[in-house]
Amino acid sequence: MRPEIGLDVEKLQLLLSFKAQGARLVEASVDDHRGLVAAVKQVDVVVSAMSGVHFRAHKLLLQLKLVEAIKEAGNVKVV
């Protein structure tokens, strides 16, 4: 999860419900490549979603940073 998620109460409640069901949440920032790779190495699954409202070129580039970290970490299967 991104650090700024804590500013959105609805998103925070959703994440806490995932955690209550057994999900392990790992915080990372796409602006910190090394930290992002380290976070990805701690998990088996990465869930990343963007709504149509937020789907802009800048947001797409941020997603590509996540993809690069996943590739470098090497432990998450991409489907």
**pTM passes above 0.85:** no
Report whether pLDDT(2) > 60.
no
Domains of the chain, residue spans: 3-73
3-state secondary structure of 51: coil
At 60, the pLDDT band (50, 70, 90 cuts) reads: confident
pLDDT in tens, 5-56: 556 788 788 888 999 999 888 888 889 999 999 999 999 888 877 666 656 6
Report whether pLDDT(66) > 80.
yes
Could you count the other beta carbons within 10 Å of the beta carbon of residue 28?
Answer: 22
Q: Give the rounded distance of the alpha carbon of 79 from its chain centre.
A: 16
44 to 11, 17, 20, 54, 55: CA distances (angstroms): 22, 19, 18, 26, 26
Q: DSSP letter at 29?
A: -
